[in-house]
Amino acid sequence: MSNIVSGISFPAIRGIQAGHEYYIVMCPLKRLKKIFTLDESMLAESDKAQRVLNHSRIPQIARYIHSNRHDYTFSAITACIEGQTYFEPIAPEGHGNKIGNLVVDEDAEFYLTDGQHRSAAIQQALEEDPALGDETISVVFFVDKNLKQRQKIFRDLNLYPVPANRSIAVLYGSSPEENLTNHVVQGSEFFNGVVEFSSRISKRSAKFFMHSSVHAACMELCPNITKENWREQAEKAVEYWDELAKNLPLWQQAKKHQIKPADRANYVLFSAILLKSFAMFGNELLCENSNWKFQLKKFQGLNWARTNKLWIERCFNKGRMDHSVHSALLTLNALKKHLGLPLSVEQQKIEDKFLGIKK
């Protein structure tokens, strides 16, 4: 029998893990704020059982909800309950014995163990769109857990994390930006067949650009993508990349397997940073130069070897490619100077500072 006089109840399914009961409930989004009221950031590190909240992620996830209002997807939140609980099954035996109501004492404390960013983002999204309140998210509750047990659950849930594959995320995505990149990769004569979608490019692979790198480059080339214009922008991007590839013999040779995969490392051309710099260059060129295809022909005779002094300390530093934003800007400057195009005021400042250091 339950000793709970007053509390909160959830429709729940009862399960067993490691000999202990746990529950899966369908929680209305508007109840999250009422349930998870404890702010663990105010506690000492030794008294916490979750990671520190990264506040920059919250608006990103909230935007995801609004942008995918009719097809957003969230996995379950995991939480622990410290205090009295009672399960009321709808039947004394059979499947009905595992379905019922989970009653939680009003003095019990709820602790988020996994999903604090999702919870915070949902609460922010609710402020902008209260209609979300009656939708639900599944919550896995582990009951009667003290601090030490909650910390172990958090550790176990994060024991073998697998980094998200950004390339696959873009490939499976449906945002205007992701649609553009996927269209470019499939529609470009050059990119089709040379883009890798897994987590990395093996040393012997015939592929030489990651899908995520192409995506980052396409966002530099076409920065203002909407649902209305992504197809038009994608066609523009395909035309630019294919025209650029025609003027880079090394890209053509690599696509035809005339360059050994191991030898590609000798050239800056097969790096994500050059792809990004080409995209930044293309964004300027397409906007400001109607004769842009002629300009690209000037790349044909450029020395793309990593040992070329032009690239050293711009994008090739201390024996490896430098993928910083500053490196991309310096490489963009080198591309523009090679074509005899003027640098902007800001680009000239960066170039002067770089040359000053070089001297």
9-23, 27-41, 65-79, 207-221: least confident range: 27-41
Residue 1 has pLDDT above 60, yes or no: no
39-43, 93-97, 160-164, 167-171: least confident range: 39-43
User: Do residues 264 and 196 lie in contact, with contact meaning Cβ atoms separated by under 8 Å?
Assistant: no
At residue 8, the pLDDT reads: 87
Mean per-residue pLDDT, 324-346: 95
Mean per-residue pLDDT, 197-216: 89
% of residues, the chain, pLDDT over 90: 69
104-113, 231-240, 246-255: least confident range: 104-113
Residue 170 has pLDDT above 70, yes or no: yes
Residue 279 has pLDDT above 50, yes or no: yes
SS3 annotation, 85-144: EEEEECCCCHHHHHEEEEEEECCCEEEEEECHHHHHHHHHHHHHCHHHHHCEEEEEEEEC
Nearest-angstrom CA–CA distance, 255 and 251: 6
Strand-pair category, 7-17 with 99-105:
antiparallel
At residue 43, the pLDDT reads: 45
Residue 169 has pLDDT above 90, yes or no: no
State the pLDDT confidence band at 172, using cuts at 50, 70 and 90.
confident
More confident residue, 95 or 163: 95
State the pLDDT confidence band at 156, using cuts at 50, 70 and 90.
confident
At residue 311, the pLDDT reads: 94
User: Do residues 128 and 27 lie in contact, with contact meaning Cβ atoms separated by under 8 Å?
Assistant: no
**What are φ and ψ of residue 283, in 5° steps?**
-60, -40
